[in-house]
Every structure is written in C-alpha cells, then in structure tokens.
Amino acid sequence: DGGITQSPKYLFRKEGQNVTLSCEQNLNHDAMYWYRQDPGQGLRLIYYSQIVNDFQKGDIAEGYSVSREKKESFPLTVTSAQKNPTAFYLCASSIRQGAVTEAFFGQGTRLTVV
C-alpha cells in the first residue's frame, strides 16, 4: 500500500539529547514537510523540501534540522537547542494537481522530553 510511514509512534528524550524522527513515503511525491502540532495552535510548518538535496525553513525551524538525500525520506532531527520539544510531529508529502498542492499525512510521532 502506498503511504507515509513515520517512526517511532512514541519517543522519549532526555533533556540535552538530539533525537531523529523518521519519515518515509512510497507515493513518489516530490515535496515533503514536517509540521509540529500543539494543542490549540493547529499545525505549524518546521521545514519543507520540494526536491532532493534541497529544503527550506518553515515558520518555526529554530532547534530543528533536516536532510533530503533520497526522494523517499525526510528525517527530522530535534536538537538540544529546541527549548520546548514536547509535541506531536506530523510528516506530509504532496503532489501537485495542476497548480495546487494536495497533502497526504503520516500517522505522527509523539515526542516527550523527560
């Protein structure tokens, strides 16, 4: 089945540690995204990538890093510089239908700092 796979579903991190969230898609989509979701704040864009080996900062990129070495993969690293990393993280990919983007989402990773 085609889709977006995020792993792990739950992740615990000690303060001061870096942690990497995995996102893989087999939809052959060019664009991929990372969003952070906090209660009452909707989805905020962290990073996005429109093609391999290229990515752009979103609205809240500080304390995060990404790579896009393969079309299928877009891992997100939450660094120790991120002051409040506990949140639900969603990965998405998109395809253009004409000039419009329709996004497909993974099931999310819940990160908790302990």
Q: Which residues bind other proteins (CB under 8 A)?
A: 4, 6, 31, 33, 35, 40-43, 45, 48, 50, 58, 88, 90, 92, 94, 96-108, 110
Nearer to other proteins, 58 or 75 (CB): 58
Between CA 99 and CA 40 the distance in angstroms is 30
Nearer to other proteins, 58 or 80 (CB): 58
Supply the minimum distance, in Å, between the C-beta of residue 16 and other proteins: 27
Tell me 71's DSSP state.
Answer: T
Nearer to other proteins, 107 or 112 (CB): 107
| Residues 38, 112 contacting (CB under 8 angstroms) | no
Between CA 107 and CA 2 the distance in angstroms is 14
Supply the minimum distance, in Å, between the C-beta of residue 80 and other proteins: 26
Dihedral-angle region of residue 31 (phi above 0 means left; psi in -120 to 50 means alpha; beta otherwise): beta
Nearer to other proteins, 79 or 110 (CB): 110
